[in-house]
Copies of this chain bind each other. A is one copy, B any other.
Amino acid sequence: MKADIESVKTFFLALQGDICAALEALDGTARFSLERLPQPGGGFGQPRVLQEGPAIEKAAVQFTHSVGDALPPAASERNPQLAGAPFQAAAISVIVHPRNPYAPTTHMNLRFFRVDADPPAWHFGGGFDLTPCYGFIEDCVHWHRTAAEAAGAHYARMKQACDAYFHLGHRGESRGIGGLFFDDWRTGGFAASLDLVRAIGTAFLPAYQPIFERRHSLAYGEAEREWQLYRRGRYAEFNLAIDRGTRYGLQSGRRIESVLASLPPLVRWSYNHAPASGTPEADLLSFYLQPKDWLGLFGDA
Taking Cβ atoms with an 8 Å cutoff, the residues of A that contact B are 33, 49, 51, 58, 60, 169-171, 229, 233, 236-237, 240-241, 246-247, 249-251, 253, 256-257, 259-261, 263-272
Query: Do A233 and B170 touch (CB < 8 A)?
Result: no
- A169 surroundings in chain B (CB, below 8 A): 250
Smallest beta-carbon distance A289→chain B, Å: 16
Q: Name the residue of chain B whose CB is nearest to the CB of A254.
A: B170
- A260 surroundings in chain B (CB, below 8 A): 237, 269
The 4 closest A-B pairs by CB, nearest first: A240-B240, A263-B269, A170-B250, A49-B271
Supply 29 A–B pairs (Cβ within 8 Å), ascending by A.
Answer: A33-B272, A49-B271, A49-B272, A51-B270, A51-B271, A58-B269, A58-B271, A169-B250, A170-B249, A170-B250, A170-B251, A170-B253, A170-B256, A170-B259, A171-B256, A229-B266, A236-B240, A236-B267, A237-B240, A240-B241, A241-B250, A260-B269, A261-B271, A263-B269, A264-B269, A265-B268, A265-B269, A265-B270, A267-B267
**Which one of A171, A229, A269 has the highest number of Cβ atoms from chain B below 10 Å of its Cβ?**
A269
Copies in the complex: 2
Query: Do B270 and A269 touch (CB < 8 A)?
Result: no
Q: Name the residue of chain B whose CB is nearest to the CB of A269.
A: B263
Smallest beta-carbon distance A48→chain B, Å: 10
Smallest beta-carbon distance A92→chain B, Å: 17
Q: Name the residue of chain B whose CB is nearest to the CB of A253.
A: B170
- A271 surroundings in chain B (CB, below 8 A): 33, 49, 51, 58, 60, 257, 261
CA distance A272 to B34 in the complex (A): 12
Smallest beta-carbon distance A158→chain B, Å: 27
- A233 surroundings in chain B (CB, below 8 A): 263
CA distance A169 to B263 in the complex (A): 18
CA distance A257 to B259 in the complex (A): 27
Smallest beta-carbon distance A295→chain B, Å: 32
- A247 surroundings in chain B (CB, below 8 A): 241
Smallest beta-carbon distance A124→chain B, Å: 27
- A236 surroundings in chain B (CB, below 8 A): 236, 240, 267, 269
- A268 surroundings in chain B (CB, below 8 A): 265-267
Q: Name the residue of chain B whose CB is nearest to the CB of A274.
A: B257
- A229 surroundings in chain B (CB, below 8 A): 266
Query: Do A266 and B266 touch (CB < 8 A)?
Result: yes
Smallest beta-carbon distance A184→chain B, Å: 25
CA distance A33 to B165 in the complex (A): 35
- A264 surroundings in chain B (CB, below 8 A): 269
Other A-B contacts than A51-B270, A266-B267, 16 sampled, CB-CB below 8 A, are A51-B271, A58-B269, A58-B271, A60-B271, A170-B249, A170-B251, A170-B253, A170-B256, A170-B259, A171-B256, A236-B240, A237-B260, A257-B272, A264-B269, A265-B268, A267-B268
